[in-house]
Chains A and B, each alone.
Chain A
Amino acid sequence: MSIDVPEPVQPPVDGALRLCVDNLSVLRGGRRVLDHLSFSLSAGQALIVTGPNGAGKSTLLRALAGLLPRAGGSIALEGGPSDVDLPQQAHYLAHSDGLKAALSVEENLEFWSRYLAQEPDPRSRTVGAALGVVGLGHVAAAPFGVLSAGQKRRAALARLLVAFRPLWLLDEPLTALDRASREKFALAMRDHCALGGLIVAATHEPLGLEEAAELPLGSAG
Chain B
Amino acid sequence: MSSPLAALFLREWRVARRIGGSGAMGVVFFLTLVAIVPFAVGPDPNLLARIGPAILWIAALLATLLCLDRLFQADAEDGSLDLFHLSETPLELAVLVKCAAHWAATGLPLVIAAPFLGLMLQQEAMALLGVVATLLVGTPALTLIGAIGAAATVTVRRGGLLMALLVLPLTIPVLIFGVSAAEAASGGAVPFYAPFAILCAITLAALALCPFAAAAALRYLGE
A contact residues vs B (CB 8 Å cutoff): 2, 4, 65-69, 84, 87-88, 90-92, 94-103, 107, 110-112, 114-116, 118
Contact A112:B18 (CB < 8 A) given known A88-B88, A99-B78, A118-B4: no
Determine the distance from Cα of A92 to Cα of B88 in the docked complex, in whole angstroms: 14
Given contacts A92-B82, A100-B15, 12 further A-B contacts (CB under 8 A): A2-B3, A94-B79, A96-B77, A96-B78, A96-B82, A99-B78, A100-B78, A102-B15, A103-B11, A107-B14, A111-B8, A115-B4
B216 to chain A, nearest CB (A): 14
Task: List B contacts of A110 (CB < 8 A).
Answer: 7
- B83 CB contacts on chain A under 8 angstroms: 92, 98, 112, 115-116
Considering the chains assembled together, what is the distance between the CA atoms of A67 and B218 in angstroms? Answer: 11
Q: Say yes or no for B223: interface residue by CB 8 A criterion.
A: yes
Given A102-B19, A103-B15, A111-B11, are A65 and B87 neighbors across the interface (CB < 8 Å)? Answer: no
Contact yes or no, B78 A97, CB < 8 A? yes
Minimum Cβ distance to chain B for residue A95 (Å): 8
B82 and A67 form a contact (CB under 8 A): yes
Interface residues of B in 1-52 (CB under 8 A from A): 3-4, 6-8, 10-11, 14-15, 18-19
Residues of chain B within 8 A of A66, CB atoms compared: 85-86
Q: CA A99 – CA B81 in complex, angstroms?
A: 11
Q: Which of the listed residues A4, A100, A118 has the most CB atoms from chain B within 10 Å of its own CB?
A: A100
Q: How far is the CA of A99 from the CA of B88 in the complex (A)?
A: 19
Interface of A is mostly: loop
Q: Among the interface residues B15, B18, B82, which one has the most CB atoms of the partner chain A within 10 A?
A: B82
CB-defined contacts of B18 to chain A, threshold 8 Å: 102-103
**Which of B7, B18, B86, B223 has the most C-beta atoms of chain A within 10 angstroms of its own C-beta?**
B86
The B interface, classified by DSSP as helix, strand, loop or mixed, is helix
Query: How would residues 109 to 144 of chain B score, 1 for a CB under 8 Å from any chain A CB and 0 otherwise?
Result: 000000000000000000000000000000000000
A residues less than 8 Å from B89 (CB atoms): 115, 118
Contacts A/B (CB < 8 Å), 20 sampled: A2-B6, A65-B86, A66-B86, A69-B223, A90-B86, A98-B78, A98-B79, A98-B80, A100-B11, A100-B15, A100-B78, A102-B14, A103-B14, A103-B15, A107-B14, A111-B7, A111-B8, A114-B4, A115-B4, A116-B86
A-side contacts of B8, CB under 8 Å: 111, 115
Give every chain B residue within 8 A of A68 (Cβ-Cβ).
Answer: 223
Enumerate chain B interface residues (CB-CB to A < 8 A).
3-4, 6-8, 10-11, 14-15, 18-19, 74, 77-80, 82-83, 85-89, 222-223
Chain B residues lying within 8 Å of A95, measured Cβ to Cβ, are 79
Q: In the complex, what residue of chain B is closest to A101 when comparing beta carbons?
A: B78
Question: Residue B85 contacts which of A67, A69, A111, A114 (CB distance < 8 angstroms)?
Answer: A67
B77 / chain A contacts, CB cutoff of 8 Å: 96
A92 touches B78 (CB 8 A): no
Q: Which residue of B lies closest to A104 (CB)?
A: B14
**Which A residues are in CB contact (< 8 Å) with B11?**
100, 103, 107, 111
**B residues less than 8 Å from A4 (CB atoms):** 3
* A97 and B88 within 8 A (CB): no
> Would you give the shortest CB distance from B162 to chain A, in whole angstroms?
22
Are B86 and A88 in contact, with the CB atoms below 8 A? yes
| Residue from A87, A102, A107, A114 in contact with B86 in the complex, judged by beta carbons closer than 8 Å | A87
CB distance from A31 to the nearest CB of B (A): 15
The 4 closest A-B pairs by CB, nearest first: A96-B79, A114-B7, A98-B79, A102-B18
* Residues of B with C-beta under 8 A to A65: 82, 85-86
Among B7, B19, B85, find the residue whose CB has the most chain A CB atoms closer than 10 A.
B7
- Residues from chain A with a CB closer than 8 A to the CB of B80 are 98-100
Whether B86 pairs with A84 at a CB distance below 8 angstroms is no
